Amino acid sequence: MKSAVSSSLFFHSKNLLKPNPLSRLESVFLPKPSLRSIVKLPSSSTTSGLRSISSSSMASSFKPEQARVPSALPLPAPPLTKFNIGLCQLSVTADKSRNISHAKKAIEEAASKGAKLVLLPEIWNSPYSNDSFPVYAEEIDAGGDASPSTAMLSEVSKRLKITIIGGSIPERVGDRLYNTCCVFGSDGELKAKHRKIHLFDIDIPGKITFMESKTLTAGETPTIVDTDVGRIGIGICYDIRFQELAMIYAARGAHLLCYPGAFNMTTGPLHWELLQRARATDNQLYVATCSPARDSGAGYTAWGHSTLIGPFGEVLATTEHEEAIIIAEIDYSILEQRRTSLPLNKQRRGDLYQLVDVQRLNSK
Ligand SMILES: NC(=O)CC(=O)C(=O)O
């Protein structure tokens, strides 16, 4: 078992940031002529045979508003535009009460460094294994002693007046187990619960075999929640591979997608950052992820590399595989800027394809 947390175990992201590419991106945006010329092409002009774009022709014949069914909601005005997010990349042990007190101290440290939103890793109160899930599972809806992990999250979010996306823990409901993320508002109330929709069943011979479906049941609904720090869509780890979920959240007006996740040593190096940047770039919103720290002696070795991605696909803050607390700024005013400069939402071809949000459609 690892020693209890001390603040020296944690690092401010500034020490660990990769060179911030935003400055490079700004220089892409600042000379604006190239982008302006794309947007301002007169509707009659063509370049090398490419069809020109103007919002009037798109609205009439390309039907961008019909590319999302029901139509996409406008981006809501967030309660605040700029704030700090804290990503707590935590070590996880077999000692559940240590994991809970460790997470509590990390949240307190993130808040003391200015985080108004804190994100925890996937399965932070238990080892990530099918043998452990039933043993560590909690009855979240019962609360109190039946769910010490979420009782802690509720207490700390209320005391510190912050929003917490509580990573995930194994949840028991009758004879079923779920991989569940709880969102607590700054009043300590449980605002939303996301049960991992896509179970992680993988078999790459000689590399990694893991079947979550041996013990877990898949969740049934996408989860998007209005908080003090904006509208947030939730996915857990493998959920990030399914772009339709992220597209649905974007069409419902999400500012930020949060994915607690524990990628592994086979897929992590190739896919983890790629998927985060893809979800952010395609949907022109922020994406935040949080992994457990790596424990090479564990049955399942997590890749680490918790990250914040901006709406142009830029890595704003990241870390390696050790324990870390990343503190990074989110600025929602960038969302409209990016969407104005690169107006994907006005350029979709609703005449050629449509994304159907089944839940929203059926609730009409
Ligand atoms: N652990 C997961 O849920 C997902 C993962 O590791 C992968 O998709 O790869």
156-188 residues labelled b (16+ CB within 10 A) or e (exposed): bbbebebbbbbbbbbbbeeeebbbbbbbbbbeb
Q: Is the CB of 259 under 6 A from ligand 1?
A: no
Nearest residue (CA) to ligand 1, atom 6: 263
Assigned token pair, 116: 């108004």
Backbone angles phi, psi at 227, to 5 degrees: -130, 180
Q: CB of 118 within 8 A of CB of 88?
A: yes
Give the atom of ligand 1 at the shortest distance from the alpha carbon of 300: 1
Q: Is the CB of 179 under 6 A from ligand 1?
A: no
**Could you say which DSSP state residue 59 is in?**
I
In Å, what is the CA distance from 321 to each residue of 88, 136, 260, 318?
Answer: 12, 24, 15, 10
Instruction: Report d(CA 98, CA 2) in Å as an integer.
Output: 9
What is the distance in A from the centroid of ligand 1 to the CA of 166? 18
Characterize the bridge pairing of strands 163-165 and 176-184: antiparallel
Give the atom of ligand 1 at the shortest distance from the alpha carbon of 210: 1
* Partners of 47 in beta bridges: 50
Q: What does the pLDDT read at residue 60? A: 67
Question: DSSP secondary structure string, 190-224?
Answer: EEEEEE-SS--EEEETTTEEEEGGGT-----S-EE
Q: CB of 91 within 8 A of CB of 102?
A: yes
Q: Say what the pTM is.
A: 0.85
Q: What is the CA radius of gyration of the chain?
A: 21
In Å, what is the CA distance from 28 to each residue of 182, 246, 337?
Answer: 38, 26, 13
Q: Is the CB of 197 under 6 A from ligand 1?
A: no
Q: How far apart are the first and last CA of the chain?
A: 52
Q: Is the CB of 349 under 6 A from ligand 1?
A: no
What is the distance in A from the centroid of ligand 1 to the CA of 262? 6
Q: Is the CB of 168 under 6 A from ligand 1?
A: no
Instruction: Report d(CA 71, CA 356) in Å as an integer.
Output: 9
**Quick one: CA dihedral 56, 58, 59, 62, positive or negative?**
positive
Nearest residue (CA) to ligand 1, atom 4: 238
Residue 296 buriedness (CB in 10 A; 0-12 / 13-18 / 19+): exposed
Give the atom of ligand 1 at the shortest distance from the alpha carbon of 236: 3
Q: Give the number of residues written for the chain.
A: 364
* Partners of 109 in beta bridges: none
What is the distance in A from the centroid of ligand 1 to the CA of 238? 5
Q: Is the CB of 99 under 6 A from ligand 1?
A: no
Q: What does the pLDDT read at residue 34? A: 29
Q: What does the pLDDT read at residue 364? A: 80
Residues annotated catalytic, as ranges? 122, 196, 237
What is the distance in A from the centroid of ligand 1 to the CA of 75? 30
Instruction: Report d(CA 175, CA 75) in Å as an integer.
Output: 40
What is the distance in A from the centroid of ligand 1 to the CA of 167? 15
Instruction: Report d(CA 1, CA 94) in Å as an integer.
Output: 7
Scan for tokens 């800027």, then name that residue: 337
Q: CB of 128 within 8 A of CB of 242?
A: no
207-228 residues labelled b (16+ CB within 10 A) or e (exposed): eeebebeebbbebeebbbbbbb
Tens-level pLDDT at each residue, the chain (364 residues) = 333 332 223 333 333 333 333 333 333 332 332 222 222 222 333 333 333 344 444 456 999 999 999 999 999 999 999 999 999 999 999 999 999 999 999 999 999 999 999 999 999 999 999 999 999 999 999 999 999 999 999 999 999 999 999 999 999 999 999 999 999 999 999 999 999 999 999 999 999 999 999 999 999 999 999 999 999 999 999 999 999 999 999 999 999 999 999 999 999 999 999 999 999 999 999 999 999 999 999 999 999 999 999 999 999 999 999 999 999 999 999 999 999 999 999 999 999 999 999 999 999 8
Q: Is the CB of 289 under 6 A from ligand 1?
A: no
Q: How far is CA 213 from the centre of its chain?
A: 22
Q: Three-state SS for 107? A: helix
Assigned token pair, 351: 């005449």
Q: CB of 239 within 8 A of CB of 260?
A: no
User: Which residue among 208, 214, 267, 289 has the greatest number of ligand 1 atoms within 8 angstroms of its CB, and so is best to mutate?
Assistant: 267
